[in-house]
Amino acid sequence: MRCPFCRVDNDRVIDSRASQDGSAIRRRRECLSCQRRYTTYERPEEATIKVIKKDGSRAPFSREKIQRGLERACWKRPVSSRQLEQTVTAIENDVFQSFESEIESRELGILVMEHLRDLDQVAFVRFASVYRQFNDVQDFFEEMRPMLDGLSRKPPR
């Protein structure tokens, strides 16, 4: 591991433990050259899952793309970065547990929307409006109907 400060490849591990969500190993390191400390995260290498796009092409599953999409949907919403990270991890875990080697982008989008619906309803609507490419207000309303029906059944506060 190269030190991010002096770029020397000579360090020692001071502490190792599982990350809070359990998906990685957190290592605290000290550079033996400049004596500065830094943290690294190690994730096990998973079998590569390919995402089958609408045009039939295939691309590797990207945790970072999921995270960027969620960040855009949750922009200026009361969703913490920790909640976003937990949601991305949950989506990634679902993908690796449920699919062997490939997942269609449509199925991945539905999976993301299911997680977003539980996280923040406004973010869900934002994501759905881009993902579903609504043509008019009627399409938008049809997507919202199950959520609105659920709200009408809840007792008032």
**Is it the case that residue 156 has pLDDT exceeding 60?**
no
**Is it the case that residue 155 has pLDDT exceeding 90?**
no
Helix (H, G, I), strand (E, B) or coil at 103: strand
Domains of the chain, residue spans? 11-42, 50-152
pLDDT of residue 86: 92
Say what the pTM is. 0.61
* CA 87 to centroid of chain Cα atoms: 6
Distance between CA 91 and CA 51 in Å, rounded?
A: 14
Mean local confidence (pLDDT), 126-133: 78
Q: Which among 118, 75, 112 has a CA at the least distance from the CA of 95?
A: 112
CB 41 within 8 A of CB 85: no
Model confidence at 147, in pLDDT bands (50, 70, 90)? low
pLDDT of residue 47: 67
Q: Which among 49, 24, 27, 46 has a CA at the least distance from the CA of 38?
A: 27
**Is it the case that residue 81 has pLDDT exceeding 50?**
yes
pLDDT of residue 157: 44
Model confidence at 50, in pLDDT bands (50, 70, 90)? very high
Model confidence at 104, in pLDDT bands (50, 70, 90)? very high
Mean local confidence (pLDDT), 56-74: 92
CA angle 30, 32, 35 (to 5 degrees): 60
Output the average pLDDT for the chain: 86
